Amino acid sequence: MKKIIEMSIEEIKEAYAMKTLKVSQVLEAYFDQIKKYDDKIKAFISLREEEAIKEAKILDEHLEKGELSGLLAGIPVAVKDNISTKDLKTTCASKMLEDYQPPYDATIVKKLKAAGAIIIGKTNMDEFAMGSSTENSAMFTTKNPWDYSKVPGGSSGGSAAALAAGFAPLTIGSDTGGSIRQPASFCSVVGLKPSYHRVSRFGLIAFASSLDQIGPFTRTIKDSALALKVLQGKDPLDDTSKESSNIDYFESIDQPIYKMKIGVPKEFLSEGLDSEIKENIVKTMEELRKLGAQVEEFSLPISDAGLSAYYIISSAEASSNLARYDGIRYGYRPEDYKDTDDLMLKARTEGFGKEVKRRIMLGTYTLSSGYYDAYYNKAMKFRSKITDTFKKAFETYDVILSPTSPILPFGIGEKTSDPLEMYLADIYTVNINVAGLPALAMPSGFSKDGLPMGIQLIGDHFDESKLFQVGNHLEKKIKVKDIFPKLEVK
């Protein structure tokens, strides 16, 4: 039998159904793996072992009686540490919220629990989800399980690394400009950024409200579809969430794709793209053709404007969203202060890290009177243009294929000195958030040095089912899902 920690959700569920595995056995296997390797990888900020084992035992009683129900019954799940969990610290990897314990569960946490999933811990990230490497975490940097000297990507690097390292068969991240897809590619796992409006944001500690979406990391495309089924849906507590349409992912997931038209934006293959990744995309296009799809390059003239629009909008929203951390009610509070203003000033100066402060300042500037029209308003105009450009592309294409990242996983510390270079690495992912579209990142092979590569499939709004359908076929062709990193203790 396959090792538990290498199983997909589907395989674990099958084992439960066949009664060849018990829930506590599964939990034990994952916690063993975590204990063995997380000292080195550092994917988790907090663990929830005792309660998780207790919950597993209860589920085993149900399993015994054949009453195990729920789409994710007995599945361990790790959640990014910017998603609120009742009675479990939710830090956003920030000194500001180091000891913050939410009094409520995020809607998606409630949904996971209702589906029978067991929360095993909270994962590391870039502080307040700002970054692409977890190096902005105020706690520690997570290592890439494929190469400890490399970053796992970010901001959901902890969740991506945890999945790759066999710490959980399902982890949850959030994606504002690529924060699920880029680490998924860096760690060779499947990561989905759902359509804006599809998954409730209630309880997700906001970075940029109009861009943030919660999504799953899984080993397989089918697991991703299953997870989305659990997470999605209109939430009365989130005005921006909507009732999902096209949700019968499994009805179409195995259907052939030979009638599909897949476009590859030329602009996404131009300068700045790593040559191995470019080769990999060309190979992937070939595989899709072999599957019968019609694949062609086309022009999608947005990427530069998109990156600027993204950084202006996300920073503007962040400057407002993060203003509530003032040291008054919760969170970091300085020891000495003269008066209320001094308290707020010191709390924010000492409680936030460099990158967070950089974006707050950028956002405050772009919203200031006199600059608003030149920056924020202009960015919003670009935003509708980008949305229209994509809309038009989807009149021709069912799915758009592109690289996830222009570069391979980079070395820890390699890019920390130049934030702009780090921002440029988001060039393929940010536009999707700006347009509110769904995108699926999946493994597509390895570089000569054995570093993971990934592609992203972009869909029309609420058209995740096509992404799963294409991804599912491609996954069988590419055959990397059963390759695991060789972890070392040292």
Q: List residues near another protein by CB under 8 A.
A: 82-84, 90, 92, 97, 100, 102-104, 106, 201-206, 208-210, 236-240, 316-317, 319-320, 323-324, 326, 328-330, 340-341, 344, 364, 367-369, 372, 376
Distances from the Cα of 273 to the Cαs of 174, 265, 386, 397, 405, in angstroms? 25, 13, 21, 23, 8
Between 100 and 148, CB nearer to another protein: 100
Q: Are 131 and 355 in contact (CB under 8 A)?
A: yes
Asked whether 404 and 185 are in contact (CB, 8 A), the reply is: yes
Helical H runs in 118-203?
Answer: 157-164, 181-187
Concatenated DSSP letters of 395-434: HH-SEEEEES-SSPPPBTTSSTT-HHHHHHTTTTTHHHHH
Q: Which is nearer to another protein, 312 or 407 (CB)?
A: 312
Nearer to another protein, 64 or 341 (CB): 341
Token pair in block for residue 226: 């299953």
CB 167 within 8 A of CB 30: yes
Measured from the CB atom, the residue of 92 and 427 that comes closer to another protein is: 92
Nearest CB to another protein, comparing residues 82 and 134: 82
- Cα gap 388→437, rounded to integer Å: 12
Is residue 179 annotated as a catalytic residue, yes or no?
A: yes
Q: Is the CB of 367 or the CB of 487 nearer to another protein?
A: 367
Q: How far apart are CA 439 and CA 180, in angstroms?
A: 10
- The CA distance from 147 to 186, in Å, is 10
155, 159, 185, 303: which one is catalytic?
A: 155
What is the rounded end-to-end Cα distance, in angstroms, of the chain? 28
* Cα–Cα dist 221/379, whole Å: 34
Please state the closest distance from residue 396 (CB atom) to another protein, in A. Answer: 30
Which residues have a Cβ under 8 Å from the Cβ of 114 and sit 6 or more positions away? 70
What is the number of alpha carbons within 13 Å of residue 180 lying toward its C-beta? 32
Q: Which of 80, 111, 113, 346 is catalytic?
A: 80
* Residues 90 and 122 sit within 8 Å (Cβ to Cβ): yes
Active site residue 156: no
State yes or no: is 86 an active-site residue: no
Q: Residue 85: what are its φ and ψ, rounded to 5°?
A: -125, 125
Which of 208/432 has CB closer to another protein?
A: 208
What residue type is assigned to position 349 of the chain?
T
Closest C-alpha to 167, from 48, 64, 72? 48
**Catalytic residue list:** 80, 155, 179
